[in-house]
Amino acid sequence: MATKFELIENIMLPPGFRAAGISAGIKKGGKKDLAIIASDRAAAVAACFTTNQVRSATVVLDAARVKSGKGRAIVVNSGNANACTGAQGMKDAKRMAAITAKNIGVPEAEVFVASTGPIGVSMPMDLLEKGIPEAAAKLSANGGGDAADSIMTTDTRPKRLTAKFTIDGKSVTLSAMAKGAGMIHPNMATMLCFVCTDAAVEPRALQAALKNSVIQSFNRISVDGDQSTNDTVLVLANGAAENKVLKPGHKQWSVFTAVLDAVLLTLAKKIARDGEGAKKLITVCVKNARSCKEADAAARAVANSMLVKTCWHGDYPNWGRIMDAIGYSPAKIDETKVDIFYDDTIAVRRGISAGTPVDKLSAIQSKEEFAITIDLHLGRANAEVFTCDISEDYVKINVDYVRDMTGRGPT
């Protein structure tokens, strides 16, 4: 039986959660740049982080704290990554948590910290010393929208979602906000995502569910092939719905995981769609590879190819670049067996042109969303990756990134 739930394109914080977003002065122009999300009661916590060997102080701190399985609040700043800032960066991350804990009355060890923005810039702690108490004073059950706005950097739009569903006859809410537009590459991306739910979930089960969801969502998007120092996905589950504690074996465990999967996948696609300078969202699907690993490798080669992505930005369907990308991928291919489809229209049959009129393929590629399906005809394994086109605007955005974000050059 299909899981029934409603997805709402907005943030409706679950009972027991409050949030706020303010301008602390980190970003220029008075843009919101500081958020707090807090639970009024003890919550289970789970997290996934970047696999980059260079990690923000916030990632190092949170990775240690999440082992307790307990969390009460998240404090987030945009406009500064607090990465490659040495020992002082860790002191600053801990100080952000301590100020938050003091102002909302929770244990410091249960406060998580996230940062996003330019790398290698010292944290403006004078601004945060004033801003965090201000944000704490503004915490509200209706503050999710302001918090979602505050975590953005080069995003052109906020990414937020709420799901409503039922567990044990109890009404349950799961809401999430995310940011991400550039330095996006599987495992994970330059992205932050914060999920709140009033479901009661066993911490180890929550961690397992989140890890599986991230593999299917945030680990399957690519904008530019770069990988960040700060990627963080955090989930707080406070149990205010008073359902029986969810974990494998609960008759509705699959309902909770299906909702989590759907929310994170939808947000992941929003990130890919909002790629810096991007105009199109493209799903790359590889079918009938010898193994899942090879299907995944071929899909990622196409999704990450700058030649392919610049081609997609135009309207001429140069499928030869797709053939080239799968050819240099680690996947085994036999070019005489490869079929390529633009949506449902075949462009390549058995490795050569299928004779489809160029205008027909161009019309598909000119859409804001389309799919490229590559059938290798070598096995039964499939994989999908979500990506976007690349335009000259991507270069312009990133050339002046630090100055555009803060009004200052690197220090």
Task: Give me the active site residues, please.
Answer: 190
* HSE-CB of 54 using CA atoms within 13 angstroms: 13
Structure tokens at 265: 């996948």
Structure tokens at 99: 């100020």
Show contacts of 37-40: CB within 8 Å, 24+ apart.
37/73, 37/74, 37/76, 37/144, 37/147, 37/194, 37/196, 37/236, 38/72, 38/73, 38/74, 38/104, 38/106, 38/139, 39/71, 39/72, 39/73, 39/196, 39/236, 39/238, 40/16, 40/238
Q: How many CB atoms lie within 10 A of CB 334?
A: 11
- Among residues 216, 178, 174, the alpha carbon closest in space to that of 198 is found at 174
Distance CA 333, CA 348 (A): 14
Distance CA 247, CA 254 (A): 9
Distance CA 401, CA 117 (A): 9
Q: Is residue 392 classed as helix, strand or coil in its secondary structure?
A: helix
